[in-house]
Structure 1
Amino acid sequence: MTYPTPLSPALLAWVSRALGARPSIRDVSHPREDSRVWQLTLPSDVRFYPKVSPQPLMYECETLALRHAVPALGAGRAPQLRASSADHLALLLTSVPGRPLKQLTLTPAEEARAHRQGGELLARLHAAGDLSSHRRAEAEQSVLAAGNGADRHLRQAGGRLTAAEQKVVRDLAEQLRVLPPLPLAFIHGDAWERNLLWSQDLMQAAWIDFERARFGAAVQDFIPLYCGAWCRDPGLRTAFLRGYGRELSREEEHALMCLSALDAVSCLAWGPAHGDQEVAARGRRTLDRLMAVVRA
């Protein structure tokens, strides 16, 4: 069972100063321990969302994204940063029309349209980051760094994988070391249907939750969809990539398969530890699909 988390007096004072009024408050956090988000409604019925990051790095990532790359998505297509507080690790965000795709029942045509627009917006985000100097080096090393984390995730996942599954994951992680250079981008970092909003009134998509945004290989942003919605309905992949503006290269396809193995192990480690059974189930489904391919 989860209970509403009150907005602390210090945080309430900060948002009230930023907004120039004392709002009404409703806890809208996800049902997990590290999620702290509230809906604030002003007397004018305008809504804002203060969000407290679980850790300083996530605060820094989301602040950078909201200031320097997310505006490229356009008005109503992502939250805007109204104010930030490093002392509180808090962001004050504008409201965005729509609800997460995970919470909606859409017609196939609506769902395809939402995914196509999601691809269009992700392409804008990918092109928005400045890849000069050390940021290019960070992006170039991102896939190798993901592979280097395989053993750590396997240790955390423990007995949730068989010996054969662990070997497959290690083999796929090793293959990331010999990949040629891949297209680089400023990536969302958690681009799946929980963070893709759709407004049925406006027929308009939007992305939220940029706390894992960073510089990396563009293909890394497709992992959650590759392991989720695209498996459920390959037509959604077609729609998404049509919106994105290009197909994936052969090298990116291979990287995506390898990275999906690492994502599966990460999900199997993180999901149970944080009480997120949806994430854990995604990891198990992905691993089962990979093992079926290996055995074929």
Structure 2
Amino acid sequence: MTHSNTPAAALLGWAGRALGTQPSVQDASHPRGNSRVWRLDLPSGVRHFLKVSTRPVMYERETLALRHAVPALGAGRAPQLRASNADHLALLLTSVPGRPIEQLALTPAEEVRAHRQAGALLARLHIAGDLSGPRRAEAEQALQTAADGAENHLREAGDRVTAAEQKLVRDLAEQLRGLPLPLAFIHGDAWERNLLWSKDLGQTAWIDFERARFAAAVQDFVPMACGIWTDRPDLRTAFLQGYGRDLVPEEQHALKCLAALDAVSCLVRGPKFDDPRVTARGRRTLDRLVEGVFA
């Protein structure tokens, strides 16, 4: 970690005032240098989390999501926003039941159930945002923005991507432009690290909405499609059953194009944050795209 394992005194004081008591504090950050999250335990036994966003845009996105869209998921299915502090880029969040699916040893039946529920929750989120005015324009521009970012990703990835792979990524990025796709308010980082499962309750919850935004709905399926669904098509089926529909042909094609961009992004972010799992996801996706087996 590059940050202190305790919040600054001013930040902790703000959280204590918001909660009405001084909590005990435990570091709950992800194992990467820019993650700053703390678990706050109250004398009553109630638990909250204090999160400091890495950038103002992340703070703004998560605050908007938690105030205006996330409540549609229902009680216990996502954190609730207790308080926010723009000066510190800080969010005070309620705790939700469960642990990240990637940390649990679930039966195949539990995994299917969890993914079906996750898809149903994502469907609620997708229709929760007010998709009008400038927000619709933002969503309509999302694929163009993704395609425009291809060159930056390729430049940062350097020799981790071969010349042939670079050409493939550029070709697929160009095919994103102008695709007419269903729009939504998306989670933006919907994968196993942010999907909780409570064995006691038998239910899922989504966390971490700092990348939530208005975009093409299919953009929310990229992390799973490039990750766990690769080896578990049954989980993809369950997820889309919960979501309530399959992807239309244009979305299927867009998913392939977006996977190429995600792969290069992973080959940048993985080494940057010393996350071999993300790096491996990027390399495997590119290999599958080159082999023509990505579906």
TM-score range, shorter chain: over 0.9
Question: Are the aligned partners of 1:98 and 1:198 in contact in 2 as well (CA < 8 Å)?
Answer: yes
Measure, in 2, the Cα distance between the counterparts of 1:136 and 1:229.
31
Contiguous gaps of at least 5 residues in structure 2: none
- Give the secondary-structure state (helix, strand or coil) at the position aligned to 2:177: helix
> What's the counterpart of residue 270 of structure 1?
269
**How far did residue 250 of structure 1 move?**
0.5
Partner residue, 2:78: 78
TM norm structure 2? 0.98
Alignment map for 1:51-200 (pairs within 5 Å): 51-179=51-179, 181-200=180-199
Superposition TM-score, scaled by structure 1 size? 0.97
Per-residue CA deviations over 1:127-162 (Å, capped at 9, x if unaligned) read: 000011010010001011101110000001011011
1:260 equivalent in alignment to 2:253: no
Unaligned runs of 5+ in 1: none
Give the aligned length: 294
Answering whether residue 25 of structure 2 is matched by residue 25 of structure 1, we say yes
- Tell me what 1:291 maps to: 290
| Residue 12 of structure 2 corresponds to residue 12 of structure 1 | yes
Q: Distance in 2 between matches of 1:12 and 1:238?
A: 44
Cα deviation, 1:91-140, whole Å, max 9, x if unaligned, reads 00000000001101100000000000000000000000001101001000
The within-5 A match list for 1:194-213 is: 194-213=193-212
Distance in 1 of aligned mates of 2:98 and 2:151 = 39
Q: CA deviation at 1:281?
A: 1.1
Tell whether the 8 Å contact from 2:3 to 2:36 is kept in structure 1 after alignment.
Answer: no
2:106 match: secondary structure: coil
Map of 2:234 onto structure 1: 235
Taking the aligned partners of 1:74 and 1:63, their CA distance within structure 2 comes to: 17
Distance 1:141 1:240 in 2: 26
3-state SS, counterpart of residue 30 of structure 2: coil
Moved over 3 A (4+): 1-4
1:250 matched to 2:249 = yes
Structure 1: distance between partners of 2:25 and 2:14? 14
Asked if structure 2 preserves the Cα contact closer than 8 Å seen for 1:2 and 1:31, the reply is: no
- Distance in 1 (CA, whole Å) between partners of 2:62 and 2:293 is 38
- SS of the residue corresponding to residue 190 of structure 1 reads coil
CA distance in 2, matches of 1:63, 1:176: 29
Partners of 1:122 and 1:294 in 2: CA distance: 27
State the AA in 2 paired with 1:25. Answer: V
The RMSD of aligned alpha carbons is 1.3
The 8 Å contact of residues 3 and 33 in structure 2, kept in 1 or not, is answered as: no
Residue 40 (str. 1) matches residue 40 (str. 2):
yes
